């Protein structure tokens, strides 16, 4: 407790012509410090790697400020084609969708035809029996040679090999000869096959779908972004963005994750002391307990406010019923009390203040007229 000296109080009161009763009231003053009323954790809505995390303990953040961003997993088109069969919506579990439908979405390749071939009709040379993955081949229908095109060996099977048609038009089920030379020389024939449809390519993913960047029937190039996923499930299938924002204005109490670190869903990124919950902590000596009461109005003087230009008002919100633990033998018993007030942008945690109880209670809120009428009616009964 910090009390102004009696001599100073007497001089001031005499100068002001105050009564003895007023003098007793003004003598009550207490040193206090601005403390946080609560701590609010700011958590990750989903898992991922943190980026743009540059806060430090003690920084001020405003409501809505971007604290950090969570990097997503980007899923790209593996080939050129048309998007079809989008089975997932934003917020869905990609693995669950793929288990049910085979993929998050499908792409029908621009190269619509695939040929299932064998070396059975290859020209009788040993090198024509050895097929190379990825080699370019030349195609000609066996009926009359009017349908010609190009292809690429896309796969090898126990029965033969497959060719992806990269140019030319053919009929479904048509038989074509496959050659290594554009002249279709007989000695370059490496086999024969049947034209079929190229199967749509399944595009899967892991985690939850955060954003879809394509729609059905969209044409995509190889490497184009299709959708983004994040680790973990999204609550209620709700897809937010990757930004972690401050829920309210306050001071950073602790930084719980660093930029580049991977966090899980619900993990604390930072903790904030909300500005609106700031309080003043006081120590009240035992002998003053019955001079004060919860709800009592107080005047607040900050040490930095030398000219007392600011008039802060507050109210005693609570007085502890448990005494503080004394650390020095013979120290007087004291009790913690907390004062609520409306801080402005100049008030910071840890600032020192002097609190002057006024002896007056805050005005009670006006009664609700409807409630008063209802009460009066009940009393009449």
What does pTM read for this prediction? Answer: 0.65
3-state secondary structure 213-251: CCCCCCEECCCCEEEEEEECCCHHHCCCCCEEECCCCEE
Kindly indicate whether the domain formed by 73-108+201-235 is annotated with CATH number 1.10.3720.10.
no
- The 10s digit of each residue's pLDDT in 187-211 is 999 999 999 999 999 999 999 999 9
CATH topology of domain 6-37+278-361: Elongation Factor Tu (Ef-tu); domain 3 (2.40.30)
Bigger pLDDT: 369 or 150?
150
How do the domains of the chain map onto residue ranges?
6-37+278-361, 40-64+249-272, 73-108+201-235, 112-197
In angstroms, rounded to a whole number, what is the distance separating the alpha carbons of residues 371 and 270? 44
Beta bridge partners of 371: none
| Two domains, one topology: 6-37+278-361 and 73-108+201-235 | no
Residue 298 near residue 313 (C-beta atoms within 8 A): yes
Paired tokens of 94: 């990609």
Phi and psi, residue 373, nearest 5°: -65, -40
Q: What is the pLDDT of residues 124-157, one digit of tens each?
A: 999 999 999 999 999 999 999 999 999 999 999 9
CATH of domain 112-197: 2.40.30.10
User: What tokens were used for 108?
Assistant: 């029908």
Name the one residue in this structure whose structure tokens are 């503080």. Answer: 324
Higher pLDDT, 303 or 364: 303
Collapsing DSSP to helix, strand or coil, 10 comes out as helix
Compute the Cα dihedral for 317, 323, 325, 327 and give only its sign. Answer: positive
153: β partners = 163
d(CA 108, CA 343): 62
* Contact assessment for residue 46 and residue 266, using Cβ atoms and an 8 Å cutoff: no
Query: Lowest-confidence range among 48-52, 104-108, 360-364?
Result: 360-364
């Amino acid at each position: 407790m910090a009390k102004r000296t009696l001599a100073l109080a007497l001089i001031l009161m005499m100068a002001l012509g105050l009564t003895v009763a007023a003098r007793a009231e003004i003598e009550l003053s207490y040193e206090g410090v601005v403390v946080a009323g609560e701590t609010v954790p700011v958590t990750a809505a989903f898992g991922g790697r943190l980026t743009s995390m540059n806060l430090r303990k003690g920084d001020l953040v405003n409501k809505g400020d971007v604290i950090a961003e969570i990097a997503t997993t980007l899923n790209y088109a593996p080939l050129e084609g048309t998007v079809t069969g989008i089975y997932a919506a934003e917020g869905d579990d990609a693995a669950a969708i793929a288990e049910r439908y085979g993929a998050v979405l499908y792409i029908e390749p621009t190269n619509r035809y695939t040929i299932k071939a064998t070396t059975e009709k290859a020209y009788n040379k040993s090198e024509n029996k050895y097929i190379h993955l990825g080699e370019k081949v030349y195609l000609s229908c066996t009926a009359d040679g009017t349908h010609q095109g190009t292809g690429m060996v896309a796969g090898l099977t126990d029965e033969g090999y497959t060719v992806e048609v990269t140019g030319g038009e053919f009929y479904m089920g048509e038989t074509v000869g496959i050659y290594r030379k554009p002249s279709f020389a007989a000695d370059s024939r490496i086999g024969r096959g049947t034209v079929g449809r190229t199967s749509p390519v399944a595009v899967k993913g892991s985690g939850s779908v955060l954003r879809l960047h394509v729609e059905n029937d969209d044409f995509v190039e190889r490497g184009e972004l299709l959708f983004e996923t994040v680790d973990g499930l999204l609550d209620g299938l709700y897809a937010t963005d990757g930004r972690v924002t401050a829920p309210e204005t306050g001071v950073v109490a602790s930084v719980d994750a660093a930029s580049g670190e991977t966090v899980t869903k619900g993990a604390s990124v930072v903790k904030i002391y909300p500005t609106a919950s700031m309080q003043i902590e006081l120590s009240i000596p035992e002998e003053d307990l019955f001079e004060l009461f919860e709800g009592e109005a107080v005047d607040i003087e900050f040490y930095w406010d030398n000219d007392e230009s600011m008039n802060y008002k507050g109210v005693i919100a609570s007085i502890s019923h448990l005494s503080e633990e004394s650390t020095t033998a013979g120290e007087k018993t004291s009790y913690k009390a907390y004062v609520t007030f409306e801080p402005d942008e100049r008030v910071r945690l840890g600032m020192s203040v002097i609190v002057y109880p006024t002896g007056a209670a805050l005005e009670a809120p006006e009664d609700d007229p409807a409630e008063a009428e209802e009460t009066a009616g009940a009393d009449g009964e």
